[in-house]
Amino acid sequence: MRTVPTDQNRTLASLLLRVDRSLPAPLHAQLDQALRGRILSGAVAPGTRLPSSRTLAAELGVARTTVLQALEALQAEGYLVAAPRSGVRVAPELPVEGLAPQPSRSSSPVSPPRLSRAARALRSSGTGAPRLGPAPRPFRPGLPALDLFPAALWSRIVARTQARASARLLEGGDSAGHPGLRRAIAEHVIAARGVRCVPDQIFITGGTQQAFEEVLRLLVDPGDEVWLEDPGYLGAQRAVLGASATPVPVPVDGEGLDVEAGIRRAPRARLAILAPSHQYPLGVTLSLPRRMALLRWAAAQRALVLEDDYDSEFRHRGRPLTALQGLDEAGRVLYVGTFSKTMFPGMRLGYVVVPPPLVEVFSAARASLPAPVSGLEQAALAAFMDQGHFARHLRRMRGVYRERAEALLDALHTRCAGLLEPRPCDTGMQLCAMLPTDVSDVAVRDRAAGLGVEVGAVSDYALRLRRTGGLVFGFGAIRPAAIRAGVETLARALDG
C-alpha cells in the first residue's frame, strides 16, 4: 500500500498506517482498526516497538489524543503492551487464540461459497433491484406523496405508544401480529375492499415481499409451478425463484391475466400470483369473467391464488372494486395488503389474510419465526387507524392522486399524442402508456433518464420477449406543475 501523504490521507511509512478525513468513521477508530489489521496480518511482528504517540500524531497529522485513544483501546484488548521506559510494543502473544499471523493468502484464489439452487436461480434471472438513480426524479414508479404524510401526528402517536407500552409489547408481542392491529386491518379490508375475514385470519408481515415469501415457504414445494403475470411485478418472480419453484409466465391482456392461457400452460400449477385490481405494470383490472374463471380453476385443481392488492385503496373515481378474495367461496385466495403506499414504503409493514383452514399452519410457522415487524410500530399503527387518521389520510390522498393522474393524462394526451397511448388510470399512483411496436421502450427509458426523467420500461417487467413496449409513470409523489414539466422533457426523449 503506497500512498502519498496529503492533508486528507496521511501514511506513516514505518507501519503503513493511514487515516482518511473524508471517511465518516472517527480518526481514532480508523487508526485502531488499521493498526489492529497490521498486527493480525503479521505485518507488524509481535514485540515490535511502536513510535511514540507524539511521533505517530505528527506523522499522521492528527491530534495526540486521537493516537492515545487508539493505543489505549488496543492495550485494553491486549494487542499492545506498555512497559516503563520502553514505550508501547505489540504484545508478544496475541489476545485471541487462532488469530496468529497467517501467511498471506493473496497467491491462492479464494473460492466463493457455494450458493443454494434458489440463490443461483435468483442470480441468473436478472431480477435484481431495478436500476434507480440516487434521488427519485419524475416519474419514478411506486412512490407515494411522502410530503403529504402527517409525519408530526405519526411521531406523536409513536411516542405515546412507546411511553405506554405494556410489558407484553416490550417482551415481543404476539407472533401473528399485534391483536389491535389485526382487528383494525380486518375492519379496514372488510369495509374498503370487500374482503371476508375475521382478525384471526390476518398475519402481519414485513410488507408484501415478505408475505409472498412466507406463503411460498408454507404452501409451495421446490419445483412446483406458479403462474406469474407477464409482464408483472418482479417481486413476485423473485419470491418464486427464491422458493426454488418454477415460474410459469401467463400473458396479460386488456382483461388482465389470461386465465385460459394459464390453464393451457400449467393446468396443475400450485399457485397463481397476480394483482387483479390494478395489474402491475399495465394497470389493467381483471374482468369479472376472468375472476370467475380463475376461482373455478383454483377450486377444481385445489390450487391457490395469491392476490396482491397493493394500492387499490386509491380508487380515484367510482365505487371501489371488491377484492377477488371477497368472491372466493372455496377458500382458495390468500389476500396480501401493504402499508407501503397508504402510509410510507419505509414502514415495511403488510399483512396476509389466509383462508380459515390455513390459520393453524400459519400460526404454527410463526411460533418459530414471529412477525418480523416491531410490536411498538404495530401498536402505533393500530392507534393511528383506531383514531380515524388512516381513513382521513386515505380520503385526502385519493383526491391528490386523482388530480395528479388527470394532470399526467392531460399532459400526455396533449404533448405525446401519436407517440404514446396512455391506458386509463382510475386507481393508484402509476399509469402505463403504450409505445408503437417499432419503438423500443428501453431505448426511450434510457434517453429520458439522460434528460433527467425517470420512467419504467414495460419490457423490464416481462418474463418473455414482448412485441409491444410501454412506459410506466409514477405520479404519486409529483405535483401537477412538475408533472407537466416532466412530460415536456419526455416528449423530447420520444422525438429523439
Ligand X SMILES: Cc1ncc(COP(=O)(O)O)c(C=O)c1O
- Site residues, ligand X (CB under 6 A): 142, 207-209, 233, 275, 280, 308, 310, 338, 340, 345, 350
Phi-psi region of 205 (alpha: psi -120 to 50; beta: other; left: phi over 0): beta
Around 278, how many Cα atoms within 13 Å sit in the side-chain half-sphere? 22
Q: Minimum distance from CB of 129 to ligand X (Å)?
A: 12
Q: Minimum distance from CB of 204 to ligand X (Å)?
A: 12
Amino acid residing at 219: L
Query: Which residue lies nearer to ligand X by CB, 212 or 362?
Result: 212
DSSP conformation class of 427: B
Query: Which residue lies nearer to ligand X by CB, 10 or 348?
Result: 348
Query: Which residue lies nearer to ligand X by CB, 350 or 486?
Result: 350
**Which spans in 82-150 are helix H?**
117-125
Query: Which residue lies nearer to ligand X by CB, 262 or 337?
Result: 337
Q: Minimum distance from CB of 356 to ligand X (Å)?
A: 24
Q: Minimum distance from CB of 194 to ligand X (Å)?
A: 19
Q: Minimum distance from CB of 275 to ligand X (Å)?
A: 5
**Which spans in 164-207 are helix H?**
167-171, 179-193
Ranges of beta strands (E only) in 148-298 are 202-205, 225-230, 246-253, 256-257, 271-274
Query: Which residue lies nearer to ligand X by CB, 224 or 311?
Result: 311
Query: Which residue lies nearer to ligand X by CB, 142 or 486?
Result: 142
In terms of DSSP bridges, do strands 333-338 and 304-308 run parallel, antiparallel, or are they unpaired? parallel
Phi-psi region of 278 (alpha: psi -120 to 50; beta: other; left: phi over 0): beta
Query: Which residue lies nearer to ligand X by CB, 195 or 263?
Result: 195
Burial of 430 per CB tally in 10 Å (0-12, 13-18, 19+): buried
Cell numbers for 22, please give them: 473524508
Q: Minimum distance from CB of 430 to ligand X (Å)?
A: 8
Query: Which residue lies nearer to ligand X by CB, 138 or 207?
Result: 207
Q: Minimum distance from CB of 208 to ligand X (Å)?
A: 3
Other beta carbons less than 10 A from residue 74's beta carbon = 23
Residue (of 385, 399, 207) closest to 310 by Cα position: 207
Give, to the nearest 10 degrees, the angle between helix 389-415 and helix 480-495. Answer: 40
Query: Which residue lies nearer to ligand X by CB, 28 or 315?
Result: 315
Q: Minimum distance from CB of 371 to ligand X (Å)?
A: 15
Q: Minimum distance from CB of 132 to ligand X (Å)?
A: 12
* Whole-angstrom distance, CA of residue 269 vs CA of residue 320: 30
Amino acid residing at 191: A
Q: Minimum distance from CB of 280 to ligand X (Å)?
A: 3
Query: Which residue lies nearer to ligand X by CB, 229 or 441?
Result: 229
The answer to whether 384 and 150 have CB atoms below 8 angstroms apart is no
* Whole-angstrom distance, CA of residue 306 vs CA of residue 359: 15
* Whole-angstrom distance, CA of residue 256 vs CA of residue 229: 9
Cell numbers for 371, please give them: 412477525
DSSP conformation class of 352: E
